[in-house]
């Protein structure tokens, strides 16, 4: 049977999601905890979005395959996992569910304290401190030209054989109730460093160093541009992953897999 695991983590002390020999990773800890609780030599997991080193998650989704159901698995996992990872739910996945390929979209948030009165040491691990106040209207105007299906090669670190074409559904800046500048970024999927590169590009617009047309000009080049600064990882959080109705999960996975392999 396939299990769906929903979890959150503080990414500050992890070298990203994916297992790497000799390094502390979220996947490494989760798979070790599952193997311990289920008394297996090893177990493989698949996540909805492979977060980079230092990136956080509130809404990460994972699947794994097991021989049988295991009552109290959520409680038992949380008893084994370190305190910077928390499993919020474990459930039997519907037929055809794939945490990665069945997803309709992922939503990230990037948080910035861009005024001195907004700087709070208690949230420094997940909010970027920026010395100059940002013009969110200019950033939103620039962001509109990045929406839709595009080749985001200029904003991605390429992986061999992987496509950089993505559909950016939303990229909008607003103020939180506390006054933080928050980017909500939603796409069918993201390539490596894409969100942080988009944020870094728009920061240049927001502080007046570049005009609102600059991000679209960068996008049109369709190759990595050294002038785009990748924003720091700690301001970024994976907030939510959306899936279709249960009877559409399998077909969505087939469609997405074909698109990623193409």
* Catalytic positions, written as ranges: 52
* Residue 100, CA distances (Å) to 178, 181, 201, 241 in order: 33, 29, 27, 10
Q: Rounded distance, CA 205 to CA 199, Å?
A: 10
Residues 222, 162, 96: CA angle, nearest 5 degrees: 130
In the numeric block, the tokens 């897999």 are attached to 257
Nearest-CA neighbor of 84 among 121, 48, 44, 125? Answer: 125
């Amino acid at each position: 049977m396939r299990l769906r695991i929903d979890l959150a983590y503080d990414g500050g002390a992890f070298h990203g999601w994916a297992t790497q020999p000799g390094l502390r990773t979220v996947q490494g800890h989760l798979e070790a905890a599952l193997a311990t609780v289920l008394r297996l030599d090893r177990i493989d997991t698949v996540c909805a979005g492979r977060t980079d080193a230092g990136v956080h998650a509130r809404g990460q989704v994972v699947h794994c395959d097991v021989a049988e159901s295991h009552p109290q698995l959520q409680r038992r996992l949380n008893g084994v996992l370190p305190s910077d990872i928390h499993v919020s739910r474990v459930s039997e996945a519907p037929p055809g569910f794939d945490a990665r390929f069945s997803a309709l979209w992922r939503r990230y948030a990037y948080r910035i304290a861009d005024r001195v009165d907004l700087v709070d040491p208690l949230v420094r691990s997940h909010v970027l401190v920026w010395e100059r106040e940002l013009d969110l209207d200019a950033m939103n105007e620039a962001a509109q030209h990045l929406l839709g299906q595009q080749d985001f090669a200029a904003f991605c670190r390429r992986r061999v054989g992987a496509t950089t074409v993505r559909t950016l559904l939303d990229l909008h800046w607003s103020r939180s109730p506390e006054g933080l500048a928050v980017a909500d970024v939603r796409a069918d999927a993201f390539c490596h460093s894409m969100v942080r590169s988009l944020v870094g590009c728009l920061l240049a617009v927001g502080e007046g160093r570049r005009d609102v047309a600059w991000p679209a000009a960068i996008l049109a080049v369709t190759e990595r541009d050294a002038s785009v600064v990748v924003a720091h990882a700690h301001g970024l959080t994976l907030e939510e992953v959306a899936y279709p109705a249960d009877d559409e999960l399998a077909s969505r996975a087939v469609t997405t897999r074909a698109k990623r392999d193409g």
